[in-house]
Amino acid sequence: MRLLALGLLSLFALLGDLSAAVRTKVDLVNLTPDVRAGEKALVALRYRCDPHFHIYWKNPGDAGAPPTVEWTEKSGTEVGGFIWPGPKLLDQAGVMNFVYENETLILMEVAVPAGKTGAIVLKGKAEWLECDDKGCWPHDTLVELTLKVGPGNPAYKYDAKLYPDLKAPLAGEFRVVGDELQVVPAAGAKLDLSKVWFPERNFLTPDATAKQKHNATTLFFNLKEATEKLDAGPVSFVGSDGKGGFVRLVATAPVGATTKGETDIAPTSAHPSTSDWQPWSPEAQAKALADGKIVYVDFTARWCATCQVNKRVYKQDDVHQALTAAGVVLLKADWTKKDAVIADELRKYGRTGIPLNVFLRTGQPPAILSEALTGTEVIAALGAVSAGKTYQADATTHAFGFWLLLAFGGGILLNLMPCVFPMIGLKVLGFAKEAGASRRTVVLNGLLYSAGVIVSFLALALLIIGLKSGGSSVGWGFQMQSPGFVLGTCVLMIVLGLSLAGVFEIGVGLGGLSAGEGEGRIATFFSGVLATVVATPCTAPGLGAALGFALDKERSTGETLLFFVVIGLGMALPYLLLSVFPRLAALLPRPGEWMESLKQGMSFPLFAYALYLLWVLNALIEDAAWVRDASLGLAVIATSCWILGRWGALHRSVMERISARLLAGLLFVGTLAYLYATLP
């Protein structure tokens, strides 16, 4: 049974819900039959979503990310930004998003140089986030279009009235009365105020957008939860022109409206006190930098245990005071659901994973902090940025050998990270048991454990390389973004914990403790696999930067594999040393009654880790009913383990043991099958 559990863990690691089938077809189409030199032509990214799926507008609303494209070839032309059609409001159980469904064309202008002749080839990588009521999945694909300068180009039909930026914007005025924003279009504007009017940036909450009111001349929006302060600058909306199309409305504050409360959209300032965090977005970051502010971005996720540990630094009084005194804008980039826009931002810093914490200021290079934060470092980095000094040199100046050393050291330090802590006690028990064994047995088990770690890192590297070559954007700890994998690991931690607590017996070999022959040696190997799997939510100091270097697109496959082998060697080194030098293991007490106490005590870190994983599941899955079912399912699984331990023991009759195993197996397998079948 112990081998079955270890095999299931490996299966969870490799077969987690890493990606979903693409439910949106994307291609590049031409809209201009006669492409002329010195003029502009229109092309479009065409998105065709399957029924019940959608993509996002430039302001996505409560969640989501807008589509993007990165050009690799333009044949000397200049391609402008997106020209967006008007969106629709989608209410998903109170989550308000601004989306597109079915077929959508997002337009772009292509400026053709004067004197251009022949063919124009446009190539790029389109990225988008597609969602339905069960979840969201980022995807990308290569798009290509060839045009000829001159007439006769096949042109796809589009409806120009759907694109507000192809028309002159309408004017209007706004004012704030108490907690209400009032927007009045200019006299004579032909608009349909009964339809939803969408803010082009998030100065209004999506809920306020959905609940807007109107009369014959005015739009009314609630400002109680507004996220941004409005100065005298304009606010812009996209809404219905009353003729089946969309138009842009740009409203400005009335001339002379300087009274406090008449121009403030929110009672809070644009950049809140440092006790508050704003959601990160490229727009929020750009606005804060344009205002001359220092920006601090925390790239984080619930499945990243190192990120959670780092947050303790922000509660330190000296850190809080320093951030407050400098007026730092705090932005939280939450990557729990692997937002594609955040993934793009990470790549700008040479990273494919988190944690990443960075200070930004206009005109200065970013100050990138260590993966494991300290209050002293945050204050030092802030001081350097405030003084206009460079805090961190360009990482590319380091030699290749430096990065290997950093990877090796990071692998060693992984053993001290909170994700690996539950495994440490198991290995201590193993070495205590081996203290009286032959040297050959001790060394062999150390080598098997190390082999399990290294082979697992190699498998992880190959899987990442394979997924990236297929167009997916993955990095360190990517499997923790899979609800299926997190659920499987949570179940395994519960089962292991109950076994250590003495509820039932599956053999200490499961933790890599067996020093025997055959199956015990295989279990020792798989204990290295287990240690690697639980380590990936954490990033040790220095390891994040080394992983970013290893997974950079400029690294060859061989270099990437070498890096992961070195990380595995570092992580396995302490246990390998204890095995090769038996005098170190001999320092441990001889096997005795104390081992049983330690064994039972080590069940509690496993239970704590299972609770952490349940918290991660709650972040990954928006369906509260399923999370409730999962919590109850874990209780049923624990019950099945108790039944097996209570009536499946050797002193019971044959009929009792058979009945206990059948009932326990039915409860265990049935519960797992139900949870995975209903997994959002």
> What's the pLDDT tens digit per position in 237-288?
999 988 889 999 988 877 655 434 444 433 333 333 334 688 898 888 998 8
Using DSSP's 3-state secondary structure scheme, residue 213 falls into: strand
Neighbours of 642 (CB within 10 A): 14
498/577 Cα distance (integer angstroms): 30
19/345 Cα distance (integer angstroms): 21
370/152 Cα distance (integer angstroms): 57
User: Nearest Cα to 156, choosing from 166, 145, 165, 164?
Assistant: 145
Report the length, in residues, of the chain. 680
355/538 Cα distance (integer angstroms): 9
Q: Are 247 and 170 in contact (CB under 8 A)?
A: yes
Backbone angles phi, psi at 507, to 5 degrees: 95, 135
Place of tokens 């014959």: 216
221/589 Cα distance (integer angstroms): 71
Neighbours of 76 (CB within 10 A): 10
Q: Rg for the chain (alpha carbons), in Å? A: 29
- Could you tell me if residue 137 is left (phi over 0), alpha (psi between -120 and 50 degrees) or otherwise beta? beta
424/449 Cα distance (integer angstroms): 13
User: Nearest Cα to 328, choosing from 302, 282, 296?
Assistant: 296
pLDDT, position 547? 62
DSSP string, 472-509: ----TTGGGG-HHHHHHHHHHHHHHHHHHTTSS---GG
Angle between helices 439-469 and 2-15 (to 10 degrees): 30
pLDDT, position 356? 86
Domains parsed from the chain with CATH numbers: 24-158 (2.60.40.1250), 165-252 (no CATH), 278-393 (3.40.30.10), 404-622 (no CATH)
Q: What is the DSSP letter of 372?
A: S
pLDDT, position 156? 94
38/52 Cα distance (integer angstroms): 42
pLDDT, position 2? 43
Task: Return the HEC string of 144-169.
Answer: EEEEECECCCCCCCCCHHHCHHHCCC
User: Nearest Cα to 416, choosing from 382, 450, 372?
Assistant: 372
- Could you tell me if residue 518 is left (phi over 0), alpha (psi between -120 and 50 degrees) or otherwise beta? left
In the chain, which stretches have pLDDT less than 50?
1-19, 258-275, 393-397, 471, 473, 507-519
Task: Give pTM, 2 decimals.
Answer: 0.42
510/525 Cα distance (integer angstroms): 10
User: Nearest Cα to 180, choosing from 128, 219, 133?
Assistant: 219
Place of tokens 């993955």: 474
Angle between helices 439-469 and 421-434 (to 10 degrees): 150
Q: Count Cα atoms within 13 angstroms, Cβ side, for 670.
A: 9
**Alpha-carbon distances of 388 from 348, 364, 374, 527, rounded to whole Å:** 21, 7, 22, 49
pLDDT, position 506? 62
pLDDT, position 197? 92
